[in-house]
């Protein structure tokens, strides 16, 4: 099996390539230098040259706050770029995985979001453009997985854990929001599940994060410092006391039972994932 992976320089694309190699599959990794997804002709040229059996589309504009000012560029990458890929996957009959986000939902309430819940009014430009990407995937190809993830961390790139560890070196006390609830996702674990999906044909929308229960960012920060053995006091604060350009969802709970129903192994607990991750980076 030959798999084309976009966004290979990011946290997830990096781990997907490693997982493919572990299982003896041929991974062809591209980033913007090799295939600018916003250029339909470039996408066509590379895909016709590579002729992959499957596609994992990880590339995205993920700078959530910057997206509020760079609306056109964010849409070009997340919506139009995804449309370029989905159209070619449809033409070439290539099954694809599209990585989406909890941000497609409006973030209200406390009930965990089901994969097939209707999407209404994403809170920010990033969420809206990722949803537009979902619509493109559904329009152009029948053989697809739309995989929504949240609170992502991996070895390759920036993330909340690395930010906390860096701040903890110079601060004894930190304030972290406690009214945004969700679950972290370790890209190493996610990559394994994505390759499991490539091996099957259980297409559709899925939610994927690590198990271990729903937490706040404040809870997550406390556990990071506890496991890292750093004496940092974490004080809870509400989101309105920590203003950001893009509005964040307060409810990022994702329901994952559909994975089990379709024969997929769910991810390990986030506490275990964090412990393994810290061993990798510390």
Tell me whether strands 173-177 and 96-101 are parallel, antiparallel or unpaired.
Answer: unpaired
207 phi/psi in degrees, rounded to 5:
-110, 135
Q: Following DSSP, what letter does each residue of 65-134 receive, concatenated?
A: HHHTT-HHHHHIIIIIIHHHHHHHHHHHT--EEEEEEGGGS---SSSPBPTTSPP---SSHHHHHHHHHH
Kindly state the tokens that stand for 105: 């939902």
Q: Positive or negative, the Cα torsion across 273, 277, 279, 282? A: negative
Tell me whether strands 144-149 and 96-101 are parallel, antiparallel or unpaired.
Answer: parallel
Q: Which of 98, 126, 140, 206 is catalytic?
A: 126
126 is known as an active-site residue: yes
User: CA 155, CA 15: separation in Å to the nearest integer?
Assistant: 9
User: Annotated catalytic sites, by residue?
Assistant: 126
């Amino acid at each position: 099996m030959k798999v084309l992976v976009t966004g290979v320089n990011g946290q997830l694309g990096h781990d997907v390539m490693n997982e493919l190699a572990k299982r003896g599959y041929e991974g062809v990794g591209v980033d913007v230098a090799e295939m600018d997804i916003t250029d339909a002709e470039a996408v066509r040229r590379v895909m016709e040259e590579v002729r992959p059996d499957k596609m994992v589309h990880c590339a995205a504009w993920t700078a959530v706050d910057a997206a509020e000012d760079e609306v056109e560029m964010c849409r070009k990458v997340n919506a139009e770029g995804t449309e370029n890929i989905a159209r070619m996957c449809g033409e070439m009959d290539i099954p694809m995985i599209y990585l989406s986000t909890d941000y497609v939902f409006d973030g209200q309430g406390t009930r965990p979001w089901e994969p097939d819940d209707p999407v209404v009014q994403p809170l920010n430009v990033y969420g809206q453009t990722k949803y537009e990407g979902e619509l493109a995937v559904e329009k152009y190809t029948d053989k697809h997985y739309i995989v929504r993830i949240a609170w992502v961390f991996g070895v390759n790139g920036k993330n909340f854990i690395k930010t906390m560890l860096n701040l903890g070196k110079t601060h004894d006390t930190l304030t972290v929001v406690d009214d945004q609830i969700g679950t972290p996702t370790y890209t190493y674990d996610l990559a394994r599940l994505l390759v499991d999906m490539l091996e099957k044909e259980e297409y559709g929308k899925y939610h994927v994060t690590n198990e271990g229960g729903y937490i706040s960012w404040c809870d997550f920060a406390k556990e990071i410092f506890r496991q890292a053995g750093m004496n940092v006091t974490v004080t809870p604060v509400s989101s309105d006391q920590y203003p950001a350009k893009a509005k964040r969802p307060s409810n990022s709970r994702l329901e994952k039972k559909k994975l089990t129903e379709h024969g997929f192994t769910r991810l390990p607990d986030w506490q275990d994932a964090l412990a393994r991750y810290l061993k990798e980076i510390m």
